Amino acid sequence: MGNWDQLRDSLDGGLVTRDDEGYEDVRALFNSAIETRPLAIAQCASVEDVRRALRHARDAGLPLAVRSGGHSVAGASLVADGLVIDMRGLNSVTVDPAARTATVGGGATWSHFDRACQPHGLATTGGRISTTGVGGLTLGGGSGWFERKWGLACDNLLSVDLVTAAGECITASETENPDLFWALHGGGGNFGVATSFTFRLYPLAACSIALLLWPSEFGLAVSRRWRDIMLDAPEEIGGAAAYLTGPPEEFVGNLVGKRCAAAIVTCMGPVEELRAVIAPLLELAPPVEVVMDVPYADMQCMLDDPPGMRNYWSADYLTDLPDAALDVFCAGGEDMISPSASQLLMLPWGGAVARNAGTSAMANRDVAWVVHPFGIWEDPADDEQGRDWTHAVGAGLREWTTGATYLNFIGDEGADRIMAGFGPHYPRLAAVKALYDPDNVFNRWHNVQPEVSLQR
Ligand X SMILES: Cc1cc2nc3c(=O)[nH]c(=O)nc-3n(C[C@H](O)[C@H](O)[C@H](O)COP(=O)(O)OP(=O)(O)OC[C@H]3O[C@@H](n4cnc5c(N)ncnc54)[C@H](O)[C@@H]3O)c2cc1C
Rounded Cα–Cα distance for residues 138 and 141 (Å): 5
Q: How would DSSP label each residue in 71-131?
A: --TT-TT--TTSEEEE-TT---EEEETTTTEEEEETT-BHHHHHHHHGGGTEE----SSTT
**Nearer to ligand X among residue 256 and residue 301 (C-beta):** 301
The β-bridge relationship of strands 40-43 and 83-86 is parallel
Give min distance, CB of 444 to ligand X, in A.
5
Pseudo-torsion of CA 302, 303, 309, 314, nearest 10°?
A: -150
Rounded Cα–Cα distance for residues 377 and 386 (Å): 7
Rounded Cα–Cα distance for residues 252 and 256 (Å): 6
Rounded Cα–Cα distance for residues 132 and 392 (Å): 26
Give min distance, CB of 442 to ligand X, in A.
6
Give min distance, CB of 122 to ligand X, in A.
20
Give min distance, CB of 352 to ligand X, in A.
15
**Nearer to ligand X among residue 141 and residue 219 (C-beta):** 141
**Nearer to ligand X among residue 136 and residue 239 (C-beta):** 136
**Nearer to ligand X among residue 166 and residue 284 (C-beta):** 166
**Nearer to ligand X among residue 81 and residue 272 (C-beta):** 81
Give min distance, CB of 289 to ligand X, in A.
24
Please calculate the CA angle 151-157-158 and round it to the nearest 5 degrees.
130
Give min distance, CB of 87 to ligand X, in A.
5
Give min distance, CB of 369 to ligand X, in A.
15
**Nearer to ligand X among residue 286 and residue 411 (C-beta):** 411
End-to-end CA distance of the chain: 37
Question: Positive or negative CA dihedral for 321, 325, 331, 337?
Answer: negative
Non-local (6+) Cβ contacts of 423 within 8 A are: 363, 364, 404
Tell me if 368 sits within 8 A of 350, measured CB to CB: yes
Give me the numbers of helices (H) and strands (E) for the chain, helices first please. Answer: 16, 19
Residue ranges that bind ligand X, judged by CB under 6 A: 30, 65-73, 76-77, 87, 106, 127-129, 132-133, 135-137, 139-144, 188-189, 193-194, 305, 408, 444-445
**Nearer to ligand X among residue 54 and residue 263 (C-beta):** 54
